[in-house]
Structure 1
Amino acid sequence: MTLAPYVAILGRGQGRARSLTQAEAEAAIALILSGNAAPEAIGALLMLMRMKGETAEEIAGLTAGARASLPRWAGAAPAIDWPSYAAGRTRGQPWFLAAAKLVAQAGHPVLLHGWNSHQATGASVRAALPDVGIAQVAWTEAPDALAQSGIAYVPLAGISPALMDLLRLRDVLGLRSCINTVLRMLNPGSAPIAVQGVFHPSYRELQRDASLLLNQPCLRVLKGGGGEFEHHPTKDITLHGLHNGAIWEGQTGTALTGHLRLSETDSRLSDVWNGTVQDEFATAIITSTAALVLGACGRADANHLALDLWARRHHAKAA
């Protein structure tokens, strides 16, 4: 079997080409991840899909196929799946890591996974993990890490080297592909709640609709800082997602007034977390982001809870 039939479906020409069905997309990614697809065909498939624009059925099929290729998660499922795959070119410090830590301290185990070991600007996500007490672990160690501390970060290369290779094709092709979206959708631990950041607003509905096809119970998709799930506290942003398996929409609300950009603070995550620097804007980023996730978890008065968790962050433990 080759990718040629799927490339032909997408590239037959005006009036004849069509999108892949969910089943076709799943079969195509399975073939790619098996290592039996020609590299030229892989590039053609990804770029044809990009030029056409991905459909929810295609993203759902690609995600299902990618999930089927993953090593088994050997433990209790995390409560929250929190992917981090943004390029980071327009962001500053990774404040969302502190928000994820607060959510874990509230008793909701968080699995972070990602690729971004470095950023063109701002701080490296992986380098900042120790600043808030998040361990980077191997895939096989992640279930125990979540059971012990409630939160862990696993690099994509440790989950699926084959998916990492597909992501690196951006360096070859010069453009992002549907793989960037699939990785945000991956949910390798089958968490019932998923939070996803996007940079381009149109992907909010795409990821929501694909998640609906995959029977994801709860989802929140946010146009966030640098493409991460990170709320700007002076902006009331529309959230798209799912609640109890049905389409849901809500607003983030605002925690502050003003017009600052996320990168317009010189504070460092470690200093703000440790309390050596008091930064109202950075703190509002962290607590408002945490509140959005706590709300998805069904916690009452999520905003007040996030502020309380922040105040006692150095004394709280994951329940």
Structure 2
Amino acid sequence: MDIAIKKAVSGQHLNQDEAEAAIGDIMTGNASDPKIASFLTAMHMKGETTEEITAFARKIRSFATTLEKTPQKPLIDTCGTGGDGANTFNISTASAIVTAGTRINVVKHGNRSVSSRCGSADVLEELGIPLSLTKTQSENILNKIGMVFLYAPEFHSAMKHAMTARKEVGFKTFFNIIGPLTNPAKADRQLLGVFSPKLTTKIAEVLQNLEIERALVVHGNGLDEITVTGTTLISELKNNKIETYKITPKEIGLKKHPHETIKGGNTKTNAKILKKILKGQKNGKRDIVLANAGAAIYLSDKANSIQEGVEIAKNTIDSGAAMKKLNELREASQNA
């Protein structure tokens, strides 16, 4: 850890062995909170490279409890970094449920709120879905209904060693980026939202290094989501190549909406919003869910474009299949 701190403070990048050793010290509890905070601060000031983030993610994955008995791929995760400060509702969670309603296997990885008022775990718990599921229970649920929520602390117990320092530094660190890169089910498809447009290409490169088959890394007009409030920047990983482009709501068959129409609230409010969307309420909140579910459906090879995926997502909500999937997830998780 000392070597890594000294190099980062002086502006030097870490090689793979140095990056993995530093994270290993954190994950095993061998680094003090002040040293972890120093390391996080130094890395933040220097700026993390693709190679460093890749090494961090690989090492953290090695400490995780992973699912082994999973359905046939593709397995998709819709998980963002958070930290955009936009106070939206739980868009990626709603999108995951709609996507699973199309019979695509979804392994939604998430946590309680860090930067927002309500994280994916908070809203799902409010909807009656228990969080503390074992590896075997999670495998059984996924194989039974084609969707499961993986509560990060249950699968990444070693991450607890970094929590105090993360809270003390008070700014976004590489741990905000690492979470979505460490899905315990080893999802091979990812719709991954990032809090800065500067990160889309870099994180797509990390996913390429981690041998993810397909991914869309997105930043939409200040959101770590595909947005309906303006333009979305996308770095797409496909066939081991990365292409970066922009899309507008109109290009994927949706209307543009003001930011106020997609805002959320506390946990109870967001749970009500999610249920209204799944029951067919039509507004800006529905449209931003359609945009992201459409992208996930496209990633899963069930649509030839995001726009085609949006149409499938509309039918999934309007037919009741999305609400049915939420009910299945609740029942299977409660009876696991």
- Assess same fold via TM > 0.5: yes
**1:10-61 deviation line (CA, Å, top 9, x unaligned):** 22x3xxx410012321222122212222333222221111000110000000
1:111 aligns with 2:116: no
Task: Return the offset for 1:135.
Answer: 5.7
Aligned to 1:28: 22
User: 20, 37, 42: which one pairs with 2:36?
Assistant: 42
Task: Return the offset for 1:225.
Answer: 8.2
Identity of aligned residues (%): 21
User: 281, 288, 309: which one pairs with 2:316?
Assistant: 309
Whole-angstrom distance in 1 between the partners of 2:257 and 2:223: 21
Give the TM-score normalised by structure 1: 0.85
Superposition pairs of residues 1-319 of structure 1, within 5 angstroms = 3-11=1-9, 13=10, 17-76=11-70, 79-87=75-83, 89-117=85-113, 120-121=116-117, 123-129=118-124, 136-140=131-135, 141-224=137-220, 227-228=223-224, 230-254=225-249, 255-261=254-260, 262-263=262-263, 268-275=273-280, 278-300=281-303, 301-314=308-321
Whole-angstrom distance in 1 between the partners of 2:201 and 2:293: 22
* 2:76–2:190 CA contact under 8 A, matched in 1: yes
* 2:234–2:244 CA contact under 8 A, matched in 1: yes
* 2:8–2:43 CA contact under 8 A, matched in 1: yes
Which has the higher mean CA deviation after the structures are superposed, 133-142 or 61-70? 133-142
Cα gap change, 1:131 to 1:210, in 2 (>3 Å):
same
Cα gap change, 1:260 to 1:176, in 2 (>3 Å):
closer
* 1:236–1:252 CA contact under 8 A, matched in 2: yes
- Aligned residues between the structures: 308
Whole-angstrom distance in 2 between the partners of 1:23 and 1:313: 50
Task: Return the offset for 1:148.
Answer: 1.6
**1:116-145 deviation line (CA, Å, top 9, x unaligned):** 347654x45334326778663524122211
Whole-angstrom distance in 1 between the partners of 2:313 and 2:60: 34
Letter of the aligned partner of 1:272 in structure 2? I
Q: Larger % of helix: which?
A: 2
Please tell me the root mean square deviation across aligned C-alpha atoms, in Å: 2.8
Give the gaps of 5 or more residues in structure 1: none
Give the gaps of 5 or more residues in structure 2: 329-336
Whole-angstrom distance in 2 between the partners of 1:127 and 1:37: 30
